[in-house]
């Protein structure tokens, strides 16, 4: 999207040049490789294709074939825990037939964690791509370097996406002024979700991927929508909400991360995460559980369930996990 810069003189130490929107509704330029490109996280949440030009596509007919694929490529969670192996870029698009019928608890858990871990790592990787650009921009602005019009467009897009700016700031002809304080606010939002926390919430919200919402709409976190496009809960007793559907599991995870990073209800989580960053500590998913007092209508029981899942499965082992280099593999279930 293009913005006409109305500089009005040099930017002060705490205020960026004012920019005016000239092309409302146009998203950041689509990119071929979302792994390293500018605006990667933005592209994810806007629903642009995750598949890169060098991605592979594997079709599976049932859940057994997902497990077989994990074996073929040597995907072993114990090796990931020990740091000997990185996590393969293996992205299951949707839960295949037979997923809800896996009888063995151990097999069900292993399948779910092997499936979910690459998804949250991919979303975090995209978020970090934006965060790196934002940190660099913050350093340059602090040194008095004035951003280009294109950089201002990118920054405004990000501020709109993460709700640092109100929606009307993206309308045509609206002059937008950002300050270094706004960038600091963005840095508190454009940050990763510890895998241990995300994995535990995915388990609790989707029932290990067996819930109706996860099966029918790739909805792993039960996010509400009020636009009549979602799945209506069978036991809805009041209101007109439904559960938001997604084109892929990856998009569901990206929307979950954006939910925690942008909405006011989760300001406590972001503040504690920022405190960990400031103290030079690794992000602790288990510690962040206590900040989710507004995620559930039963906060005490919900937080206890998350801690139990993290502890029982030692999910903190995955907080330092990394994606392997190389081309991604998208795994698409065949529906007959």
Which domains does the chain possess?
1-336 (1.10.530.10)
Q: What pLDDT was estimated at residue 211?
A: 93
pLDDT for the residue numbered 1: 35
| pTM for this model (two decimals) | 0.86
Compute the distance between CA of residue 155 and CA of residue 38 in angstroms, rounded to an integer. 11
Give me the DSSP letters along 114-148: HHHHHHHHHHHHHHHHHHHHHHHHHHHHHTTPPPP
Residue 313 backbone class (left: φ over 0; alpha: ψ -120 to 50; beta: rest): alpha
Per-residue tens of pLDDT for the chain, all 336 residues: 333 332 222 333 345 655 554 443 333 333 233 333 444 455 544 444 455 557 789 999 999 999 999 999 999 999 999 888 999 999 999 999 999 999 999 999 999 999 999 999 999 999 998 999 999 999 998 899 988 888 888 899 899 999 999 988 888 878 888 888 999 999 999 999 999 999 999 999 999 999 999 999 999 998 877 777 777 777 766 667 788 899 999 999 999 999 999 999 999 999 999 999 999 999 999 999 999 999 998 999 999 999 999 999 999 999 999 999 988 999 999 975
In order of 60, 121, 329, the CA distances from 287 in angstroms are 38, 19, 33
Q: How many CA atoms lie within 13 A of 219 on its CB side?
A: 18
pLDDT reported for residue 286 = 98
Q: Which two tokens stand for residue 40?
A: 């990667």
Structure tokens at 130: 């934006």
CA-nearest of 247, 213, 243 to 228 is 243
For residue 12, what is the DSSP state?
A: -
The residue among 257, 332, 10 whose CA lies nearest residue 146 is 10
């Amino acid at each position: 999207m293009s913005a006409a810069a109305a500089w009005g003189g040099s930017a002060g130490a705490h205020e960026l040049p004012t920019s005016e929107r000239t092309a409302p509704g146009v998203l950041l330029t689509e990119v071929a490789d979302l792994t390293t490109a500018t605006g990667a996280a933005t592209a994810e949440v806007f629903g642009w294709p995750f598949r890169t030009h060098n991605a592979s596509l594997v079709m599976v007919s049932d859940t057994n074939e997902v497990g077989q694929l994990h074996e073929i490529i040597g995907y072993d969670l114990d090796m990931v825990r020990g740091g000997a192996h990185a996590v393969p870029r293996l992205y299951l698009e949707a839960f295949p037939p037979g997923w809800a019928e896996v009888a063995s608890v151990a097999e069900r858990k292993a399948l779910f964690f092997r499936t979910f871990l690459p998804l949250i790592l991919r979303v975090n990787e995209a978020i970090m791509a934006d965060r790196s650009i934002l940190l660099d921009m913050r350093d340059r602005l602090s040194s008095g370097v004035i951003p280009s019009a294109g950089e201002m467009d990118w920054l405004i897009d990000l501020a709109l996406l993460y709700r640092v700016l109100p929606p009307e700031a993206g309308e045509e002809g609206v002059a937008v002024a950002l300050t270094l304080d706004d960038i600091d606010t963005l840095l508190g939002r454009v940050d990763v979700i510890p895998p241990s926390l995300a994995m535990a919430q995915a388990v609790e919200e989707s029932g290990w991927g067996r819930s109706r919402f996860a099966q029918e709409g790739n909805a792993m976190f039960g996010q509400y929508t009020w636009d009549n496009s979602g799945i209506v809960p069978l036991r809805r007793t009041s209101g007109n909400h439904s559960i938001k559907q997604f084109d892929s599991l990856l998009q569901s995870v990206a929307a979950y991360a954006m939910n925690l990073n942008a909405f006011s209800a989760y300001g406590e989580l972001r503040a504690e995460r920022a405190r960990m960053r400031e103290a030079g500590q690794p992000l602790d998913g288990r510690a962040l559980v206590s900040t989710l007092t507004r995620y559930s209508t039963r906060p005490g029981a919900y937080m206890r369930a998350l801690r139990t899942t993290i502890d029982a499965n030692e999910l903190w082992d995955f907080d330092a996990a990394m994606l392997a280099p190389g081309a991604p593999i998208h795994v698409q279930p065949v529906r007959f």
